Amino acid sequence: MRFENRNESRGDEQTGPDVSRRTRGAGAKTRNEATGRWGRDVGQSDVGWQGSQAGRPGAVPQGFSRPNQPGTGQRNPSGAGRSGAASASISVRQLTRVYEVPGRKDARVLALDGVDADFPEGSFTAIVGASGSGKSTLLHCMAGLDEPTDGRVTMLGSATSEMKPAKRATFRAQHVGFVFQEYNLIASLTAAENVSMPSRLAGRTLSKGQIDAALDAVGLRHRANLKPHQLSGGERQRVAIARVMASEPRIVFADEPTGALDLDSSGVVLDWLRQLASRGTTVVMVTHDVEAAALADSVAVMSGGRLATWSNCRDAQRIAGLVHAARAR
């Protein structure tokens, strides 16, 4: 991830000096229209860190190609966040999101405050921060699930933030995969049918062999004909990973993918996200779990709607310290 201009490098970390002007606390800010001042919105609370540990690496299925993507798909984690080190799959410039506050005509919530960042091709980036810091809003605006109030989002060279909703949805179906905390499986479909659905929507019908290969890669081929309610939480999340693998997107957004899982299932999911990145997919993960964040190539710390710190650190305790330091500025 790369910061623009206003950041100063400190070893393997980059810190935005503008963060020091922010007030303490994890809550988003509101703007009083009468005074023109921004202040903390009340009611924000912190969420405790959840620990997890990595599981065993799984075998990457053979035969999975990256459609419409030149090159070998090799990543360059050492260059993540540094200007010119790798081509950016995702770029955001001055990304801003302001929400109206129901019942308060004189106030708005500033969830994102002019964010600039680049996510290199084939990188695995974790976005962390206290509740209300803007990390999920950033992911949703980058992915086109929410529309920014201002700024620009570019994915794979296309200005997606300027597309009409229907065109943006088509772009997502063709190039983007999602892994959510709540799995987002269709209850009436089997595991195999859920795996094939994104590709069908994108106009690329998968063969039974491709579906079986994706499920086999996550150890669920024998559960292919079961519906979501017949699977455990960890198995449902593994179906979601198989769905991403089968559709072969160039970008994957993961929003708290381990939040509802036990330690073993979390480790499996995180390992597969790393496997996807190793094959050239750009993975962006939002998480409260510093242990999960430590498995990424780079970590971005958000505070007050801004990217406060970027680091290559892979130590969970140090990442937790960066989060708390960002809040204290």
Q: What tens digit of pLDDT does each residue of 157-200 get?
A: 999 999 999 999 999 988 999 988 777 899 999 999 999 988 88
Rounded-to-integer distance, Cα 2 and Cα 235, Å: 35
CA neighbours closer than 13 Å in the CB half-sphere of residue 135: 28
Q: Is the dihedral of CA 220, 221, 223, 228 positive or negative?
A: positive
Q: Which residue has the higher pLDDT, 117 or 35?
A: 117
Closest Cα to residue 140, out of 102, 111, 105, 107?
111
CA neighbours closer than 13 Å in the CB half-sphere of residue 188: 0
The structure tokens 């019908």 sit at 205
The structure tokens 């063709």 sit at 174
Domains of the chain in sequence order: 8-43+67-328 (3.40.50.300)
For 23, 126, 144, 292, 307, the CA distances from 303, given in Å and listed in that order, are: 10, 14, 22, 19, 6
Highest mean pLDDT of the ranges 22-36, 94-108, 132-146? 132-146
Q: Do residues 142 and 88 touch, judged by C-beta distance below 8 A?
A: no
319: helix, strand or coil: helix
Query: What average pLDDT does this structure show over 275-280?
Result: 90
Q: Which residue has the higher pLDDT, 68 or 327?
A: 327
Which stretches within 122-249 are classed as H helix?
135-143, 165-175, 191-201, 208-217, 233-247
Rounded-to-integer distance, Cα 74 and Cα 276, Å: 11
Instruction: Output the pLDDT for position 13.
Output: 61
Instruction: Output the pLDDT for position 180.
Output: 85
Q: What is the mean pLDDT of the chain?
A: 77
126: helix, strand or coil: strand
Rounded-to-integer distance, Cα 56 and Cα 50, Å: 19
| DSSP code, position 49 | P
Q: Is the dihedral of CA 285, 15, 5, 135 positive or negative?
A: positive
Instruction: Output the pLDDT for position 104.
Output: 80
Output the pTM of the full model.
Answer: 0.73
pLDDT at 229 over 90: yes
Neighbours of 278 (CB within 10 A): 16
Q: Which residue has the higher pLDDT, 313 or 11?
A: 313
pLDDT at 25 over 70: no
For 155, 234, 326, the CA distances from 142, given in Å and listed in that order, are: 8, 27, 22
